[in-house]
Structure 1
Protein backbone atom coordinates (compact mmCIF):
# COMPACT_ATOMS: atom_id res chain seq x y z
CA UNK A 1 0.00 0.00 0.00
CA UNK A 2 1.35 3.40 -0.99
CA UNK A 3 2.20 5.80 1.82
CA UNK A 4 0.28 9.09 1.72
CA UNK A 5 1.68 12.08 3.58
CA UNK A 6 -1.14 14.35 4.75
CA UNK A 7 0.12 17.94 5.08
CA UNK A 8 -1.95 20.70 6.63
CA UNK A 9 -1.09 24.18 7.88
CA UNK A 10 -2.51 25.82 11.01
CA UNK A 11 -2.60 29.55 11.67
CA UNK A 12 -4.44 30.68 14.82
CA UNK A 13 -7.13 27.98 14.39
CA UNK A 14 -6.26 25.13 16.76
CA UNK A 15 -9.88 24.00 17.20
CA UNK A 16 -10.43 23.84 13.44
CA UNK A 17 -7.23 21.84 12.98
CA UNK A 18 -8.24 19.41 15.72
CA UNK A 19 -11.54 18.82 13.92
CA UNK A 20 -9.56 17.81 10.82
CA UNK A 21 -7.36 15.47 12.85
CA UNK A 22 -10.44 13.83 14.35
CA UNK A 23 -11.87 13.47 10.85
CA UNK A 24 -8.70 11.75 9.65
CA UNK A 25 -8.76 9.45 12.68
CA UNK A 26 -12.47 8.65 12.88
CA UNK A 27 -13.77 8.94 9.29
CA UNK A 28 -10.90 8.12 6.94
CA UNK A 29 -10.46 4.43 6.06
CA UNK A 30 -7.05 4.59 4.35
CA UNK A 31 -4.50 3.21 6.79
CA UNK A 32 -1.07 3.95 5.29
CA UNK A 33 -0.81 7.58 6.37
CA UNK A 34 1.81 9.99 7.61
CA UNK A 35 0.21 13.12 9.07
CA UNK A 36 2.19 16.36 9.21
CA UNK A 37 0.79 19.52 10.80
CA UNK A 38 2.67 22.80 10.33
CA UNK A 39 1.90 25.60 12.74
CA UNK A 40 2.54 28.76 10.77
CA UNK A 41 3.51 31.28 13.44
CA UNK A 42 0.31 31.24 15.48
CA UNK A 43 0.12 33.73 18.36
CA UNK A 44 -0.09 30.86 20.85
CA UNK A 45 2.03 27.83 20.03
CA UNK A 46 -0.31 24.79 20.00
CA UNK A 47 2.39 22.24 19.21
CA UNK A 48 3.31 21.18 22.79
CA UNK A 49 -0.31 20.34 23.63
CA UNK A 50 -0.86 18.62 20.31
CA UNK A 51 2.30 16.55 20.66
CA UNK A 52 1.03 15.21 23.99
CA UNK A 53 -2.40 14.38 22.59
CA UNK A 54 -1.28 12.94 19.23
CA UNK A 55 1.97 11.01 19.53
CA UNK A 56 1.58 9.50 16.04
CA UNK A 57 1.48 12.87 14.22
CA UNK A 58 4.49 14.91 13.14
CA UNK A 59 4.18 18.56 14.20
CA UNK A 60 6.34 21.38 12.86
CA UNK A 61 6.44 24.87 14.33
CA UNK A 62 7.44 27.98 12.39
CA UNK A 63 7.95 31.06 14.53
CA UNK A 64 6.81 33.33 11.68
CA UNK A 65 3.89 33.18 9.28
CA UNK A 66 5.36 31.87 6.02
CA UNK A 67 2.11 32.01 4.07
CA UNK A 68 0.25 29.16 2.40
CA UNK A 69 3.13 28.11 0.16
CA UNK A 70 5.84 28.52 2.78
CA UNK A 71 3.95 26.56 5.41
CA UNK A 72 3.15 23.72 3.02
CA UNK A 73 6.72 23.65 1.72
CA UNK A 74 7.93 23.04 5.29
CA UNK A 75 5.72 19.98 5.44
CA UNK A 76 6.68 18.81 1.95
CA UNK A 77 10.38 18.85 2.86
CA UNK A 78 9.67 16.56 5.83
CA UNK A 79 7.23 14.22 4.06
CA UNK A 80 8.20 10.62 3.28
CA UNK A 81 5.10 9.47 1.40
CA UNK A 82 4.79 8.26 -2.18
CA UNK A 83 1.98 10.77 -2.55
CA UNK A 84 1.58 14.04 -0.67
CA UNK A 85 -1.96 15.18 0.08
CA UNK A 86 -2.07 18.88 0.90
CA UNK A 87 -5.35 19.81 2.54
CA UNK A 88 -6.52 22.96 4.26
CA UNK A 89 -6.92 22.66 8.00
CA UNK A 90 -10.53 23.82 7.55
CA UNK A 91 -11.54 20.65 5.68
CA UNK A 92 -13.00 17.35 6.78
CA UNK A 93 -12.58 14.10 4.89
CA UNK A 94 -14.98 11.40 3.73
CA UNK A 95 -14.28 7.68 4.30
CA UNK A 96 -12.97 6.67 0.87
CA UNK A 97 -11.52 10.04 -0.17
CA UNK A 98 -7.84 9.12 0.08
CA UNK A 99 -8.18 5.59 -1.28
CA UNK A 100 -10.03 6.87 -4.36
CA UNK A 101 -7.37 9.48 -5.04
CA UNK A 102 -4.56 6.94 -4.65
CA UNK A 103 -6.29 4.55 -7.05
CA UNK A 104 -6.53 7.28 -9.67
CA UNK A 105 -2.89 8.28 -9.24
CA UNK A 106 -1.79 4.66 -9.50
CA UNK A 107 -3.83 4.12 -12.67
CA UNK A 108 -2.36 7.13 -14.52
CA UNK A 109 1.32 8.00 -13.96
CA UNK A 110 0.91 11.15 -16.09
CA UNK A 111 -1.10 12.81 -13.31
CA UNK A 112 1.06 15.18 -11.29
CA UNK A 113 -1.64 16.79 -9.14
CA UNK A 114 -5.13 15.46 -8.40
CA UNK A 115 -8.00 17.23 -6.62
CA UNK A 116 -11.27 15.74 -5.34
CA UNK A 117 -14.72 17.24 -5.58
CA UNK A 118 -15.31 19.86 -2.88
CA UNK A 119 -18.57 20.61 -1.07
CA UNK A 120 -19.20 23.55 1.23
CA UNK A 121 -19.10 22.17 4.77
CA UNK A 122 -21.99 24.32 6.03
CA UNK A 123 -24.13 23.41 3.01
CA UNK A 124 -23.51 19.73 2.24
CA UNK A 125 -24.65 18.96 -1.26
CA UNK A 126 -23.55 22.34 -2.63
CA UNK A 127 -20.50 22.22 -4.85
CA UNK A 128 -17.55 24.50 -4.33
CA UNK A 129 -15.27 22.84 -6.89
CA UNK A 130 -15.60 20.33 -9.70
CA UNK A 131 -12.59 21.54 -11.67
CA UNK A 132 -11.29 24.73 -13.26
CA UNK A 133 -11.42 25.90 -16.84
CA UNK A 134 -8.07 26.86 -18.43
CA UNK A 135 -6.73 30.34 -17.76
CA UNK A 136 -7.36 33.17 -20.20
CA UNK A 137 -3.92 34.75 -19.89
CA UNK A 138 -5.00 37.97 -21.61
CA UNK A 139 -7.57 38.66 -18.88
CA UNK A 140 -6.23 36.52 -16.02
CA UNK A 141 -9.65 34.95 -15.72
CA UNK A 142 -10.93 31.42 -15.55
CA UNK A 143 -13.98 29.67 -14.15
CA UNK A 144 -14.54 27.29 -11.26
CA UNK A 145 -16.72 24.48 -12.58
CA UNK A 146 -19.87 23.70 -10.63
CA UNK A 147 -19.46 26.30 -7.88
CA UNK A 148 -22.71 27.00 -5.96
CA UNK A 149 -24.57 24.27 -7.87
CA UNK A 150 -26.47 21.53 -6.08
CA UNK A 151 -24.54 18.32 -6.60
CA UNK A 152 -26.65 15.75 -8.44
CA UNK A 153 -23.61 13.83 -9.65
CA UNK A 154 -23.65 15.83 -12.87
CA UNK A 155 -19.86 16.11 -12.95
CA UNK A 156 -18.91 12.79 -11.40
CA UNK A 157 -16.06 10.92 -13.04
CA UNK A 158 -13.08 9.08 -11.63
CA UNK A 159 -10.48 10.95 -13.65
CA UNK A 160 -10.55 13.95 -15.94
CA UNK A 161 -8.11 16.70 -16.81
CA UNK A 162 -8.72 20.16 -15.42
CA UNK A 163 -7.16 23.58 -15.75
CA UNK A 164 -6.02 23.72 -12.13
CA UNK A 165 -6.17 21.84 -8.86
CA UNK A 166 -7.86 23.43 -5.86
CA UNK A 167 -5.56 24.61 -3.08
CA UNK A 168 -7.88 23.24 -0.38
CA UNK A 169 -7.16 19.65 -1.44
CA UNK A 170 -4.34 18.53 -3.75
CA UNK A 171 -2.75 15.08 -3.94
CA UNK A 172 0.68 15.43 -5.55
CA UNK A 173 2.99 12.78 -6.94
CA UNK A 174 6.42 12.90 -5.27
CA UNK A 175 8.23 12.63 -8.61
CA UNK A 176 6.27 15.61 -9.93
CA UNK A 177 7.51 17.75 -7.05
CA UNK A 178 11.07 16.57 -7.60
CA UNK A 179 10.88 17.62 -11.25
CA UNK A 180 8.67 20.71 -10.99
CA UNK A 181 9.85 22.08 -7.67
CA UNK A 182 8.12 23.43 -4.57
CA UNK A 183 5.48 26.15 -4.48
CA UNK A 184 6.70 29.71 -5.02
CA UNK A 185 6.66 31.34 -1.59
CA UNK A 186 6.57 34.96 -2.72
CA UNK A 187 2.84 34.64 -3.47
CA UNK A 188 2.26 34.18 0.28
CA UNK A 189 -1.53 33.84 -0.14
CA UNK A 190 -3.68 33.12 -3.24
CA UNK A 191 -2.64 32.03 -6.73
CA UNK A 192 0.29 29.95 -5.48
CA UNK A 193 -1.46 26.67 -6.26
CA UNK A 194 -2.29 27.88 -9.79
CA UNK A 195 1.34 28.82 -10.32
CA UNK A 196 2.40 25.43 -8.94
CA UNK A 197 0.12 23.65 -11.40
CA UNK A 198 1.79 25.59 -14.22
CA UNK A 199 5.22 24.44 -12.97
CA UNK A 200 4.11 20.82 -12.68
CA UNK A 201 2.63 20.89 -16.21
CA UNK A 202 5.87 22.35 -17.59
CA UNK A 203 7.65 19.43 -15.90
CA UNK A 204 5.63 17.05 -18.09
CA UNK A 205 2.64 16.13 -15.91
CA UNK A 206 -1.11 16.66 -16.06
CA UNK A 207 -3.60 18.15 -13.59
CA UNK A 208 -6.69 16.02 -12.96
CA UNK A 209 -9.76 15.69 -10.77
CA UNK A 210 -11.46 12.65 -9.29
CA UNK A 211 -15.03 13.81 -8.80
CA UNK A 212 -16.12 10.58 -7.15
CA UNK A 213 -13.85 11.53 -4.24
CA UNK A 214 -15.31 14.15 -1.90
CA UNK A 215 -14.01 16.52 0.76
CA UNK A 216 -15.84 19.19 2.78
CA UNK A 217 -14.43 22.71 3.05
CA UNK A 218 -15.20 25.37 5.65
CA UNK A 219 -14.65 28.22 3.22
CA UNK A 220 -12.98 31.42 4.41
CA UNK A 221 -12.54 30.46 8.04
CA UNK A 222 -9.11 32.13 8.23
CA UNK A 223 -9.33 35.27 6.06
CA UNK A 224 -12.98 36.08 5.52
CA UNK A 225 -14.90 36.59 2.31
CA UNK A 226 -13.68 40.20 1.92
CA UNK A 227 -10.78 41.73 3.80
CA UNK A 228 -7.90 44.12 3.25
CA UNK A 229 -5.50 41.17 3.36
CA UNK A 230 -7.44 39.25 0.74
CA UNK A 231 -7.92 42.26 -1.53
CA UNK A 232 -4.22 43.07 -1.50
CA UNK A 233 -2.95 39.60 -2.29
CA UNK A 234 -5.67 38.76 -4.81
CA UNK A 235 -4.74 41.90 -6.78
CA UNK A 236 -0.98 41.65 -6.40
CA UNK A 237 -0.85 37.93 -7.15
CA UNK A 238 -3.20 38.05 -10.10
CA UNK A 239 -0.70 40.34 -11.81
CA UNK A 240 2.27 38.30 -10.53
CA UNK A 241 0.77 35.09 -11.92
CA UNK A 242 0.51 36.58 -15.41
CA UNK A 243 4.00 38.07 -15.20
CA UNK A 244 5.40 34.64 -14.32
CA UNK A 245 3.36 32.51 -16.69
CA UNK A 246 2.32 34.66 -19.66
CA UNK A 247 5.09 37.15 -20.44
CA UNK A 248 5.52 39.12 -23.64
CA UNK A 249 2.55 40.03 -25.78
CA UNK A 250 0.01 38.32 -23.53
CA UNK A 251 1.20 40.32 -20.54
CA UNK A 252 0.99 43.53 -22.57
CA UNK A 253 -2.65 42.80 -23.47
CA UNK A 254 -3.41 41.92 -19.85
CA UNK A 255 -1.97 45.28 -18.66
CA UNK A 256 -4.11 47.12 -21.20
CA UNK A 257 -7.23 45.24 -20.04
CA UNK A 258 -6.38 45.79 -16.36
CA UNK A 259 -5.97 49.54 -16.74
CA UNK A 260 -9.12 50.06 -18.82
CA UNK A 261 -11.43 47.61 -17.12
CA UNK A 262 -10.27 46.26 -13.74
CA UNK A 263 -9.07 49.50 -12.15
CA UNK A 264 -12.20 51.60 -12.86
CA UNK A 265 -14.51 48.67 -12.04
CA UNK A 266 -12.86 48.01 -8.68
CA UNK A 267 -12.79 51.68 -7.71
CA UNK A 268 -16.51 51.99 -8.42
CA UNK A 269 -17.14 48.84 -6.39
CA UNK A 270 -15.17 50.13 -3.39
CA UNK A 271 -17.00 53.45 -3.47
CA UNK A 272 -20.41 51.85 -3.86
CA UNK A 273 -19.73 49.49 -0.93
CA UNK A 274 -18.10 52.27 1.13
CA UNK A 275 -14.93 50.18 1.35
CA UNK A 276 -12.72 53.23 1.12
CA UNK A 277 -9.87 51.54 2.99
CA UNK A 278 -9.53 49.10 0.08
CA UNK A 279 -8.51 51.85 -2.36
CA UNK A 280 -4.94 52.50 -1.11
CA UNK A 281 -4.42 48.76 -0.63
CA UNK A 282 -5.51 48.12 -4.22
CA UNK A 283 -3.04 50.63 -5.61
CA UNK A 284 -0.27 49.39 -3.31
CA UNK A 285 -0.77 45.93 -4.79
CA UNK A 286 -0.45 47.33 -8.32
CA UNK A 287 2.57 49.54 -7.66
CA UNK A 288 4.41 46.64 -6.02
CA UNK A 289 5.14 45.43 -9.54
CA UNK A 290 6.93 48.61 -10.56
CA UNK A 291 9.76 47.98 -8.11
CA UNK A 292 9.84 44.19 -7.67
CA UNK A 293 10.76 41.26 -9.88
CA UNK A 294 8.75 38.07 -10.30
CA UNK A 295 10.81 36.26 -7.65
CA UNK A 296 10.95 39.11 -5.15
CA UNK A 297 10.50 38.12 -1.53
CA UNK A 298 9.17 41.58 -0.66
CA UNK A 299 5.45 41.05 0.00
CA UNK A 300 4.64 44.75 0.32
CA UNK A 301 2.26 44.06 3.20
CA UNK A 302 2.70 43.97 6.98
CA UNK A 303 1.45 40.48 7.68
CA UNK A 304 1.70 40.72 11.47
CA UNK A 305 -0.77 43.59 11.48
CA UNK A 306 -3.50 41.19 10.29
CA UNK A 307 -3.19 38.77 13.18
Structure 2
Protein backbone atom coordinates (compact mmCIF):
# COMPACT_ATOMS: atom_id res chain seq x y z
CA UNK A 1 0.00 0.00 0.00
CA UNK A 2 1.34 3.44 -0.94
CA UNK A 3 2.01 5.88 1.92
CA UNK A 4 -0.57 8.36 0.59
CA UNK A 5 -3.27 5.68 0.53
CA UNK A 6 -2.36 4.65 4.09
CA UNK A 7 -2.82 8.20 5.32
CA UNK A 8 -6.14 8.83 3.58
CA UNK A 9 -7.73 5.39 4.11
CA UNK A 10 -9.29 5.00 7.59
CA UNK A 11 -8.24 1.99 9.60
CA UNK A 12 -11.09 -0.40 10.46
CA UNK A 13 -10.78 -2.59 13.54
CA UNK A 14 -12.80 -5.76 13.04
CA UNK A 15 -13.71 -7.14 16.47
CA UNK A 16 -15.16 -10.59 17.05
CA UNK A 17 -15.74 -12.78 20.10
CA UNK A 18 -14.84 -16.44 20.44
CA UNK A 19 -16.61 -18.50 23.08
CA UNK A 20 -15.77 -22.21 22.81
CA UNK A 21 -16.18 -22.10 19.01
CA UNK A 22 -12.65 -22.11 17.67
CA UNK A 23 -13.58 -23.72 14.35
CA UNK A 24 -16.55 -21.38 13.78
CA UNK A 25 -14.36 -18.38 14.55
CA UNK A 26 -11.66 -19.57 12.16
CA UNK A 27 -14.26 -20.09 9.42
CA UNK A 28 -15.09 -16.41 9.75
CA UNK A 29 -11.41 -15.44 9.84
CA UNK A 30 -10.82 -17.47 6.70
CA UNK A 31 -13.58 -15.53 4.94
CA UNK A 32 -11.88 -12.21 5.83
CA UNK A 33 -9.00 -13.17 3.52
CA UNK A 34 -11.20 -12.13 0.57
CA UNK A 35 -11.90 -8.62 1.91
CA UNK A 36 -10.83 -5.97 -0.60
CA UNK A 37 -10.69 -3.03 1.83
CA UNK A 38 -7.01 -2.04 2.09
CA UNK A 39 -6.66 -1.18 5.81
CA UNK A 40 -8.12 -3.33 8.55
CA UNK A 41 -6.99 -5.19 11.63
CA UNK A 42 -8.77 -8.09 13.31
CA UNK A 43 -9.17 -8.40 17.08
CA UNK A 44 -10.35 -11.80 18.36
CA UNK A 45 -11.52 -11.72 21.97
CA UNK A 46 -11.40 -15.15 23.54
CA UNK A 47 -14.17 -14.93 26.13
CA UNK A 48 -13.02 -17.43 28.74
CA UNK A 49 -13.14 -20.34 26.29
CA UNK A 50 -10.06 -22.36 27.24
CA UNK A 51 -10.12 -23.87 23.74
CA UNK A 52 -7.42 -24.07 21.08
CA UNK A 53 -8.23 -20.78 19.33
CA UNK A 54 -4.65 -19.47 19.72
CA UNK A 55 -3.16 -22.54 18.00
CA UNK A 56 -5.76 -22.43 15.24
CA UNK A 57 -5.09 -18.75 14.55
CA UNK A 58 -1.37 -19.44 14.33
CA UNK A 59 -1.87 -22.45 12.05
CA UNK A 60 -4.38 -20.60 9.87
CA UNK A 61 -1.89 -17.93 8.77
CA UNK A 62 -3.89 -14.85 9.79
CA UNK A 63 -1.14 -12.21 9.96
CA UNK A 64 -3.34 -9.23 10.83
CA UNK A 65 -5.17 -10.98 13.71
CA UNK A 66 -4.57 -10.00 17.33
CA UNK A 67 -5.82 -12.36 20.04
CA UNK A 68 -7.04 -10.83 23.31
CA UNK A 69 -7.70 -13.38 26.05
CA UNK A 70 -10.18 -12.80 28.86
CA UNK A 71 -10.02 -15.36 31.68
CA UNK A 72 -13.80 -15.12 32.11
CA UNK A 73 -16.83 -14.85 29.87
CA UNK A 74 -17.65 -11.13 29.69
CA UNK A 75 -20.72 -11.59 27.50
CA UNK A 76 -21.36 -9.88 24.17
CA UNK A 77 -21.13 -6.35 25.57
CA UNK A 78 -18.10 -6.90 27.77
CA UNK A 79 -16.23 -8.90 25.16
CA UNK A 80 -16.72 -6.26 22.48
CA UNK A 81 -15.77 -3.49 24.89
CA UNK A 82 -12.56 -5.36 25.73
CA UNK A 83 -11.82 -5.67 22.02
CA UNK A 84 -12.40 -1.95 21.52
CA UNK A 85 -9.87 -1.17 24.24
CA UNK A 86 -7.24 -3.09 22.26
CA UNK A 87 -8.18 -1.71 18.84
CA UNK A 88 -6.53 1.19 17.02
CA UNK A 89 -9.09 1.88 14.31
CA UNK A 90 -10.92 4.98 13.21
CA UNK A 91 -13.94 2.68 12.86
CA UNK A 92 -14.88 -0.43 14.83
CA UNK A 93 -16.63 -3.30 13.04
CA UNK A 94 -18.34 -5.50 15.63
CA UNK A 95 -18.89 -8.81 13.86
CA UNK A 96 -20.28 -12.09 15.17
CA UNK A 97 -17.86 -14.98 14.89
CA UNK A 98 -20.63 -17.09 13.32
CA UNK A 99 -20.74 -15.02 10.12
CA UNK A 100 -19.16 -15.24 6.68
CA UNK A 101 -18.16 -12.00 4.98
CA UNK A 102 -18.21 -11.03 1.30
CA UNK A 103 -15.32 -9.33 -0.55
CA UNK A 104 -16.53 -5.72 -0.78
CA UNK A 105 -18.24 -5.67 2.63
CA UNK A 106 -16.05 -3.07 4.31
CA UNK A 107 -15.80 -0.89 1.21
CA UNK A 108 -19.59 -0.70 0.98
CA UNK A 109 -20.06 -0.11 4.71
CA UNK A 110 -17.75 2.90 4.58
CA UNK A 111 -19.69 4.69 1.81
CA UNK A 112 -22.51 6.19 3.99
CA UNK A 113 -19.95 7.69 6.39
CA UNK A 114 -18.47 9.67 3.49
CA UNK A 115 -21.89 10.71 2.19
CA UNK A 116 -23.62 11.76 5.40
CA UNK A 117 -21.74 13.42 8.29
CA UNK A 118 -24.34 12.42 10.91
CA UNK A 119 -24.07 8.68 10.22
CA UNK A 120 -22.59 6.91 13.24
CA UNK A 121 -23.33 3.25 12.56
CA UNK A 122 -23.73 1.30 9.32
CA UNK A 123 -25.10 -2.24 9.10
CA UNK A 124 -25.08 -4.62 6.13
CA UNK A 125 -27.85 -6.74 4.75
CA UNK A 126 -27.79 -10.08 6.57
CA UNK A 127 -28.88 -13.37 5.05
CA UNK A 128 -29.03 -16.79 6.70
CA UNK A 129 -25.99 -18.94 6.04
CA UNK A 130 -28.17 -22.06 5.87
CA UNK A 131 -30.55 -20.34 3.41
CA UNK A 132 -28.26 -18.05 1.41
CA UNK A 133 -31.05 -16.18 -0.38
CA UNK A 134 -33.25 -15.61 2.69
CA UNK A 135 -33.03 -12.31 4.57
CA UNK A 136 -32.48 -12.05 8.31
CA UNK A 137 -31.99 -8.27 8.50
CA UNK A 138 -32.64 -5.35 6.16
CA UNK A 139 -33.01 -2.69 8.85
CA UNK A 140 -35.33 -2.51 11.85
CA UNK A 141 -38.83 -1.22 12.30
CA UNK A 142 -39.55 1.31 15.09
CA UNK A 143 -39.98 0.04 18.63
CA UNK A 144 -43.53 -0.65 19.77
CA UNK A 145 -43.22 1.17 23.08
CA UNK A 146 -46.34 -0.53 24.48
CA UNK A 147 -45.16 -4.10 23.82
CA UNK A 148 -41.38 -3.72 23.94
CA UNK A 149 -41.00 -5.29 20.52
CA UNK A 150 -39.38 -4.48 17.21
CA UNK A 151 -38.98 -6.56 14.06
CA UNK A 152 -36.25 -6.85 11.50
CA UNK A 153 -37.37 -5.70 8.05
CA UNK A 154 -37.36 -8.53 5.52
CA UNK A 155 -37.09 -11.25 8.17
CA UNK A 156 -37.29 -14.72 6.53
CA UNK A 157 -38.22 -13.24 3.14
CA UNK A 158 -36.54 -14.53 -0.05
CA UNK A 159 -34.22 -11.78 -1.25
CA UNK A 160 -35.62 -10.54 -4.54
CA UNK A 161 -34.23 -7.03 -4.24
CA UNK A 162 -37.29 -5.71 -2.39
CA UNK A 163 -35.12 -4.28 0.40
CA UNK A 164 -32.26 -2.85 -1.65
CA UNK A 165 -32.90 0.80 -0.81
CA UNK A 166 -30.23 2.15 1.58
CA UNK A 167 -31.19 4.58 4.29
CA UNK A 168 -31.57 5.31 8.01
CA UNK A 169 -32.99 2.60 10.23
CA UNK A 170 -34.07 2.47 13.87
CA UNK A 171 -31.70 -0.11 15.27
CA UNK A 172 -28.38 -1.73 14.43
CA UNK A 173 -28.06 -5.50 14.27
CA UNK A 174 -25.64 -6.96 16.80
CA UNK A 175 -24.28 -9.51 14.33
CA UNK A 176 -22.59 -6.82 12.21
CA UNK A 177 -22.27 -3.09 12.86
CA UNK A 178 -19.58 -0.66 11.76
CA UNK A 179 -19.30 2.11 14.36
CA UNK A 180 -17.37 5.36 14.15
CA UNK A 181 -14.94 6.44 16.84
CA UNK A 182 -17.10 9.56 17.32
CA UNK A 183 -20.02 7.40 18.46
CA UNK A 184 -17.96 5.80 21.20
CA UNK A 185 -16.62 9.16 22.31
CA UNK A 186 -20.02 10.87 22.41
CA UNK A 187 -22.62 8.14 23.02
CA UNK A 188 -20.58 5.72 25.11
CA UNK A 189 -20.05 2.02 24.61
CA UNK A 190 -22.17 -1.10 24.92
CA UNK A 191 -23.73 -1.40 28.37
CA UNK A 192 -22.27 -4.46 30.07
CA UNK A 193 -25.27 -4.98 32.34
CA UNK A 194 -27.08 -6.66 29.42
CA UNK A 195 -24.39 -9.34 28.98
CA UNK A 196 -26.33 -10.99 26.15
CA UNK A 197 -29.28 -9.83 23.98
CA UNK A 198 -30.91 -6.39 23.68
CA UNK A 199 -27.58 -4.64 24.18
CA UNK A 200 -27.46 -3.41 20.56
CA UNK A 201 -31.02 -2.08 20.84
CA UNK A 202 -30.11 -0.16 23.99
CA UNK A 203 -26.93 1.12 22.35
CA UNK A 204 -28.84 2.12 19.21
CA UNK A 205 -31.28 4.15 21.29
CA UNK A 206 -28.43 6.02 22.97
CA UNK A 207 -26.64 6.54 19.66
CA UNK A 208 -29.72 8.13 18.10
CA UNK A 209 -30.27 10.29 21.21
CA UNK A 210 -26.71 11.56 20.74
CA UNK A 211 -27.66 12.82 17.27
CA UNK A 212 -26.25 10.07 15.07
CA UNK A 213 -28.03 8.13 12.33
CA UNK A 214 -27.99 4.35 12.12
CA UNK A 215 -27.80 3.40 8.45
CA UNK A 216 -28.71 0.26 6.51
CA UNK A 217 -26.44 -0.46 3.54
CA UNK A 218 -27.88 -3.25 1.35
CA UNK A 219 -24.89 -3.37 -1.00
CA UNK A 220 -22.88 -4.76 1.92
CA UNK A 221 -23.70 -8.40 2.68
CA UNK A 222 -22.86 -11.05 5.26
CA UNK A 223 -24.17 -14.55 5.94
CA UNK A 224 -25.13 -15.47 9.51
CA UNK A 225 -25.13 -18.90 11.15
CA UNK A 226 -27.76 -17.83 13.68
CA UNK A 227 -27.64 -18.72 17.39
CA UNK A 228 -24.41 -20.71 17.25
CA UNK A 229 -23.28 -19.49 20.69
CA UNK A 230 -26.22 -20.39 22.94
CA UNK A 231 -28.35 -22.54 20.64
CA UNK A 232 -31.74 -21.86 19.10
CA UNK A 233 -33.45 -22.59 22.43
CA UNK A 234 -31.90 -22.79 25.88
CA UNK A 235 -32.50 -21.77 29.47
CA UNK A 236 -29.78 -19.13 29.07
CA UNK A 237 -31.55 -17.65 26.07
CA UNK A 238 -34.90 -17.60 27.92
CA UNK A 239 -33.27 -15.94 30.92
CA UNK A 240 -31.53 -13.14 29.04
CA UNK A 241 -34.40 -12.49 26.63
CA UNK A 242 -36.81 -12.16 29.56
CA UNK A 243 -34.46 -10.18 31.79
CA UNK A 244 -33.22 -7.82 29.14
CA UNK A 245 -36.54 -7.07 27.51
CA UNK A 246 -37.67 -5.66 30.85
CA UNK A 247 -34.30 -4.00 31.46
CA UNK A 248 -34.30 -2.36 28.03
CA UNK A 249 -37.79 -0.96 28.50
CA UNK A 250 -36.99 0.34 31.97
CA UNK A 251 -33.94 2.15 30.60
CA UNK A 252 -35.53 3.60 27.46
CA UNK A 253 -39.27 4.11 28.09
CA UNK A 254 -40.98 5.98 30.90
CA UNK A 255 -44.33 7.34 32.04
CA UNK A 256 -47.61 6.11 30.58
CA UNK A 257 -46.06 3.98 27.79
CA UNK A 258 -43.99 2.07 30.36
CA UNK A 259 -47.10 1.49 32.49
CA UNK A 260 -48.96 0.09 29.47
CA UNK A 261 -45.98 -2.14 28.71
CA UNK A 262 -46.01 -3.52 32.26
CA UNK A 263 -49.72 -4.29 31.99
CA UNK A 264 -49.25 -5.98 28.61
CA UNK A 265 -46.18 -7.92 29.66
CA UNK A 266 -47.28 -9.19 33.07
CA UNK A 267 -50.92 -9.80 32.13
CA UNK A 268 -50.44 -11.29 28.64
CA UNK A 269 -46.92 -12.01 27.38
CA UNK A 270 -45.45 -13.48 30.55
CA UNK A 271 -48.45 -15.72 31.46
CA UNK A 272 -48.45 -17.07 27.90
CA UNK A 273 -44.78 -18.04 28.21
CA UNK A 274 -45.33 -19.62 31.64
CA UNK A 275 -48.23 -21.72 30.34
CA UNK A 276 -46.12 -22.84 27.38
CA UNK A 277 -43.20 -23.92 29.57
CA UNK A 278 -45.53 -25.61 32.06
CA UNK A 279 -47.51 -27.59 29.47
CA UNK A 280 -44.30 -28.79 27.81
CA UNK A 281 -42.80 -29.15 31.31
CA UNK A 282 -39.55 -27.28 30.99
CA UNK A 283 -38.64 -26.52 34.62
CA UNK A 284 -35.27 -24.97 33.71
CA UNK A 285 -37.11 -22.45 31.51
CA UNK A 286 -39.56 -21.67 34.31
CA UNK A 287 -36.66 -21.07 36.68
CA UNK A 288 -34.98 -18.86 34.07
CA UNK A 289 -38.10 -16.66 33.90
CA UNK A 290 -38.29 -16.44 37.70
CA UNK A 291 -34.63 -15.51 37.95
CA UNK A 292 -35.01 -12.88 35.20
CA UNK A 293 -37.89 -11.18 37.00
CA UNK A 294 -36.06 -11.32 40.33
CA UNK A 295 -32.98 -9.70 38.76
CA UNK A 296 -35.07 -6.76 37.57
CA UNK A 297 -36.63 -6.35 40.99
CA UNK A 298 -33.20 -6.01 42.55
CA UNK A 299 -31.48 -3.73 40.00
CA UNK A 300 -31.96 -0.06 39.29
CA UNK A 301 -31.06 1.74 36.08
CA UNK A 302 -27.93 3.86 35.96
CA UNK A 303 -25.94 5.78 33.34
CA UNK A 304 -23.70 3.78 31.03
CA UNK A 305 -19.97 4.16 31.66
CA UNK A 306 -17.86 4.77 28.58
CA UNK A 307 -15.08 2.43 27.56
CA UNK A 308 -11.67 4.19 27.68
CA UNK A 309 -10.78 4.79 24.03
CA UNK A 310 -7.41 3.69 22.64
CA UNK A 311 -5.31 6.33 20.92
CA UNK A 312 -5.64 6.11 17.14
CA UNK A 313 -2.54 5.12 15.23
CA UNK A 314 -0.38 7.90 13.85
CA UNK A 315 -1.25 8.70 10.27
CA UNK A 316 -4.97 7.81 10.56
TM-score when normalising by structure 1: 0.92
Does the Cα contact within 8 Å between 1:70 and 1:185 map onto a contact in 2? Answer: yes
Q: Which string of whole-angstrom CA distances, capped at 9 and with x for unpartnered residues, describes residues 82-107 of structure 1?
A: 21111000001011111001112211
Please give the root-mean-square deviation of Cα atoms over the aligned residues, in Å: 1.6
**Which residue in the other structure is 1:108 paired with?**
116
Deviation at 1:128, TM superposition (A): 0.6
Aligned to 1:294: 301
2:131 to 123, 130, 133: 123
**Stretches of structure 1 lacking an aligned partner (at least 5 in a row):** 298-307
1:205 aligns with 2:212: yes
Check conservation: 1:114, 1:207, Cα contact below 8 A.
yes
Name 1:88's counterpart in structure 2.
96
Q: Distance in 2 between matches of 1:144 and 1:43?
A: 34
Superposition pairs of residues 29-108 of structure 1, within 5 angstroms: 29-44=36-51, 46-47=53-54, 49-51=56-58, 53-108=61-116
CA distance in 2, matches of 1:76, 1:237: 23
Give the aligned partner of residue 5 of structure 2: none
Q: CA deviation at 1:49?
A: 5.0
Q: 1:161 aligns with which of 144, 168, 177?
A: 168
Q: Does 1:143 align with 2:151?
A: yes
Aligned residues: 295
Q: CA offset at residue 109 of structure 1?
A: 1.6
What is the CA-CA distance between 1:65 and the residue it aligns to?
A: 0.2
Question: Are 1:6 and 2:4 matched, yes or no?
Answer: no
In structure 2, the partner of 1:223 is 230
Helix, strand or coil for the counterpart of 1:187?
coil
Extract unaligned runs of 5+ from structure 2: 1-8, 305-316
- Name the counterpart of 1:176: 183
Q: Does structure 1 retain, via aligned residues, the 8 Å contact 2:22–2:51?
A: no
Contact kept, 8 Å, 1:51 with 1:57, in 2: the verdict is: no
What is the TM-score when the length of structure 2 is the normalising length?
0.90
Deviations 1:138-193 (A, max 9, x none): 21011111111100010102x31111010000010111111001100010000001
